[in-house]
Amino acid sequence: MSKNSRKKRKLKKNAILPLSIFVFFVLYFFSFWWFSKDQEKLQNVEVNLQDQKEDTRTLLTQLRYKQKIYLSDGTVSNIRVEEEYWDELDYILAELKEVRAPESFTEVYSGNSDDGLKFSTDLNYLRIYTVNKETYYKIPVDSKEEFSNVLKKSIYTSFGFVSQYKSWDRVSITYKDKTKKINKWKFDDLSYKMASKRIVGKVQPEKSKERSEYNFTISINIKGEDIVVETMGEDYIKITSHNLQSYYEVHNALYEYIKNDIFKIK
């Protein structure tokens, strides 16, 4: 064997050792990382299962204390319920008594919390259920109308419903004796200006309307229903829908957009 061949073989042997060490550490750290991720997933599952096991409250009690509730009916889906309306519903929920499953039940409204607790009602009974459990509660006769109105108001006088411009069929805005039809390609501009702060009572908005020099009325037709949105000064609006009304404190972007861009009042 030549001297050069022995040198090459020696160099190869010298290169194999650090390479082997490098590969070993790569595999070690990869295995450690993979094991850590797997353990983290298992711990999260165990925590979630533990949380579920620990909640021994009735389904009704769990529902009452949820922070985010979404409502649907046969026409509209996943409208978030304003906190103030959920508080109104809670007064009724607090009085409900558990009963056997009714012989017939055809849901009118359905809903869910953000963490998966579900419910539905035919306005005579409230059904609350999870994957593993289901309970029914009787709605008192003297609370039925109020219960129905708050559910309907939570959907149809909400910003979540009114601002869904893709469902708008026709829109017009009136100022005094002038009415302007809004083109469909401007629906999104108008919708994006609709931003609420909170639900309020009627007194302050009505006073604001009296003091305001400019007030506008937006008429929106959605699936055959006429929805009316009235600006009441810069900071308030009233939504009238399905013979129900709600007042909101809002950002002034809607008022300014209508005043400056639609009617060009300077």
Q: Could you read off the pLDDT of 68-105 as tens digits, one per residue?
A: 999 999 888 999 999 999 999 999 999 999 999 999 99
Please indicate whether the domains covering 59-156 and 160-262 agree at the CATH topology level.
yes
Rounded to 10 degrees, the C-alpha dihedral 199/227/238/182 comes to 110
Please give the average per-residue pLDDT across 152-169, as a whole number. 93
> pTM of this prediction?
0.74
Question: What amino acid is encoded at 80 in this protein?
Answer: R
Q: Is 241 helix (H, G, I), strand (E, B) or coil?
A: strand
Q: What is the pLDDT of residue 11?
A: 47
Say if residue 210's pLDDT is above 70: yes
- Rounded CA-CA distance 250/195 in Å is 6
Alpha-helix runs per DSSP H in 55-127: 59-64, 83-93
Class of domain 59-156: alpha beta
Greater confidence, 179 or 45?
A: 179
**What CA–CA distance (Å, rounded) separates 247 from 239?**
6
- Rg of the chain (C-alpha set): 30
Domains in the chain: boundaries: 59-156, 160-262
- Pick the range with the lowest mean pLDDT from 6-15, 41-50, 52-61, 226-235: 6-15
CA distances from 196 to 69, 80, 118 (A): 18, 13, 27
Which one, of 220, 236, 170, lies nearest residue 228 by Cα? Answer: 220
In the CATH scheme, what architecture does the domain 160-262 have?
2-Layer Sandwich (3.30)
